[in-house]
Each structure stands twice: as C-alpha cells, then as structure tokens.
Amino acid sequence: MLKVECDIKDIFELTNSKLGSEGLLLVSMDLDGKYNAMTIGWGLIGRVWGDPIFMVAVRPTRYTHRLIEKTNDFTVNVPNDGMEEIVNYCGTVSGRDYDKFKEIGLTAEKGERVKSPIISECIAHYECKVIGKSKVIPDLLSSEVKRRYYSSENYHTLYFGRILSTIKEK
Amino acid sequence: MLKVECDIKDIFELTNSKLGSEGLLLVSMDLDGKYNAMTIGWGLIGRVWGDPIFMVAVRPTRYTHRLIEKTNDFTVNVPNDGMEEIVNYCGTVSGRDYDKFKEIGLTAEKGERVKSPIISECIAHYECKVIGKSKVIPDLLSSEVKRRYYSSENYHTLYFGRILSTIKEK
C-alpha cells in the first residue's frame, strides 16, 4: 500500500468517524523495542501550545501506559474497512499476555519520526511525541461521566502528543 | 446570514485552520446574562467518554474562567475572513473592563442548546456543555512547553465540552 505525507484535514473525517465506530489503534513501544497495539474510542485533534496535537487517554493499569511512559511517543493508526475483527481483538486482550501483532497478523513498520511503529495494514497514521500530560480529575467530572466510566479509581492519563507526521494511503 | 445545523466534519478544516492563524472566539456567560468573547488559539476536537467533545484551555486569571465556572457551558465561534481586527481586539482586552460585543460591534445571538450566546457575524459555531475538567499539570510538561508558556503559575484549566450543536453558514 503506497502512502504519502498529508495534512491533518485530509484524514480528520476518517479518523473521527472510526473513533465513533470500531475505534483506532494506538501503538506504543518500550525501550527494548517491544511494541503493542491498543484499541481506542477516544481521542482529540487540534492545537495546543502552538503545536498540532493528538490527545489520547490511557488508564494507568493498561500495558500501553507503561510503554508510553518509557519512550514518550506513540502512533495512532486508522484501520481500513474490513479490519473490525482485528480492532476488536486489540481491544480485548492485553499486550502483557499476547504479542498482538503476531497473533492477529499485523505488520509493524518503522515510524519515520518516532520510536513507536505504525501498522502497515492501516490506511492513515499520526506519529506523535508526548509534550504534555494531564489526568482525569474525578471531582471535576459530571456525575454521569463519573458513574459510567469510573467505578474504580483507574483515572485516565491524558497524553498530549505533538503530531510530527500525518500519513495516508495514496 | 442563513445558517444550518451541520456535522463536525463539515467545519473541522476551517476551525483548525483558524486555530493556527488568527484564532477562534470562545463565548461564555455568567448567571446574570453578562457574556464575553475571548480569542483562543488552542482547542481540540474529537470524542471522549463516548461523546463528541471540544476541549478548550482557559487560565484561571481570565474573566472567561469565572463565566464558564458559573454556567458550565460555552460556544466556540469561527470568525469570517475580514474579522481579524475583531479577533485581535477580543484577545487584547479583558471582559472585566470592556463590553467587547458593544465596543467592537458584535451581535450576540441566543444559543439553541446552551446558555452562552453565539456571535452572529461568525460563520460556524459549536455549542458545548462542560462534562469534565482537568488542569495543566506543570510537572508533566516538556521543559520547552513549560518555559514558553508557564513563567507564572497560571496553569490552564482544560474544559471538555460535549458538543450539542454544530452550525455553519448555509
């Protein structure tokens, strides 16, 4: 699949649409080069601190959290139609127990500007370097959000990734 | 100017482009019906907690901070070409000292789903209800971001507004 650099505007619609349906694949890597893909249904795109930003939210219990904390970068990968089963799988099992790329037949391709790889089979990609973090603060949530998403105290870390590269299928 | 409801995708490109140039106008209101417009160059759009979200960042010293804290909603307004001077003015003076709408000749139009008004002269609008807040955490910022934006301890509050309505010029 031939791919080219593009503008954020060229892939926002696709990205936001997949966020609201089957999800996107967040890929991160540890310092030994072990990488993992996690399915995400949340994400924000725009500008903060003068930079183009992709914000992702990861609970501290997640394997991905440990990886991002190590290398401080990540990629967001937009799956192609027909990859629903793969996306579902990556949201079901933990990278602690499974090499998801191997198990489900995904190909890791070297990121151009970050350590974390991109997923070859996906049709669009964001390469991001974390320049700021925050946390979900339980006392500042609406009662509905708190009830629906935070029965445990596993509050998301918010990673603000500076978008270094956006790539799409040619 | 005739306006219609639209999808986020229809106005994202315009919104993100203005964020990176002259800015957008964030409008909020207090409980007595006094409203204010503030220029913003930062903002994120996408999905969090299962909802379409517009995230804005406001320093606690800002007049707008006090207003959003009261009514818990806001609108984001995309200025038309030619409104650069107005946008610049709204980013220069404080709503504590000036009725900016009156001074610069802006028209407040009743929001459809939030208390805060929209600005008639703008060409696209987001109406948002705050469902979560967070804060910029200084220790979790890159040293570059910290140096460039936080010489004082005036760390932004992050308002996650559920997008209730998106409107654009017909």
The whole-angstrom separation of Cα B163 and Cα B141 is 27
- Is the pLDDT confidence value at B91 over 90? yes
The whole-angstrom separation of Cα B162 and Cα B128 is 5
The whole-angstrom separation of Cα B21 and Cα B17 is 6
- Closest chain A residue to B142 measured between Cα atoms? A131
The whole-angstrom separation of Cα B41 and Cα B58 is 11
C-alpha dist (Å) from residue B3 to A85, A86, B77, B111, B166: 40, 41, 13, 13, 10
Best mutation target, B145, B157, B159, B166, to test chain A (most A CBs within 10 A): B145
The whole-angstrom separation of Cα A76 and Cα B46 is 14
- The predicted-structure confidence for A93-148, as pLDDT tens digits, reads as follows 999 999 999 999 999 999 999 999 999 999 999 999 999 999 999 999 999 999 99
A19 φ/ψ angles, rounded to the nearest 5 degrees = -55, -40
* Beta strands per DSSP E along B96-152: 108-109, 118-119, 124-135
Interface pTM, i.e. ipTM: 0.96
Chain B residues within an 8 Å CB radius of A136: 132, 134
- The predicted-structure confidence for A60-97, as pLDDT tens digits, reads as follows 999 999 999 999 999 999 999 999 999 999 999 999 99
Contact check, Cβ <8 Å, B148/A50: yes
pLDDT band at B152 (very low <50, low <70, confident <90, very high): confident
Specify the CATH architecture of the domain A3-169: Roll (2.30)
pLDDT at B49: 96
pLDDT at B33: 94
- The predicted-structure confidence for B27-80, as pLDDT tens digits, reads as follows 999 999 999 999 999 999 999 999 999 999 999 999 999 999 999 999 999 999
pLDDT at A120: 97
B36 φ/ψ angles, rounded to the nearest 5 degrees = -150, 150
Partner A contacted by B50 (CB < 8 A) = yes
The whole-angstrom separation of Cα A79 and Cα A122 is 4
- The predicted-structure confidence for B132-148, as pLDDT tens digits, reads as follows 999 999 999 999 999 99
DSSP letters for B66-78: HHHHHH-EEEEEE
Partner B contacted by A1 (CB < 8 A) = no
- Does the global pTM surpass 0.90? yes
The whole-angstrom separation of Cα A89 and Cα A77 is 15
DSSP letters for chain A: --EEE--HHHHHHHHHHHHTTT-EEEEEE-TTS-EEEEEES-EEEEEETTEEEEEEEE-TTSHHHHHHHHH-EEEEEEPPTT-HHHHHHHTTS-TTT--HHHHHT--EE--SSSSSPEETTSSEEEEEEEEEEEE--GGGB-HHHHHHH-SSS-PPEEEEEEEEEEEEE-
Q: Which amino acid is at B105?
A: G
pLDDT at A152: 86
Partner B contacted by A55 (CB < 8 A) = yes
pLDDT at B153: 86
- The predicted-structure confidence for A1-55, as pLDDT tens digits, reads as follows 799 999 999 999 999 999 999 999 999 999 999 999 999 999 999 999 999 999 9
Chain A residues within an 8 Å CB radius of B44: 44-48, 53, 55
A72 φ/ψ angles, rounded to the nearest 5 degrees = 65, 25
pLDDT band at A153 (very low <50, low <70, confident <90, very high): confident
The whole-angstrom separation of Cα A169 and Cα A124 is 6
Tell me which residue of A80, A49, A46, A73 sits closest to A127, measured CA to CA: A73
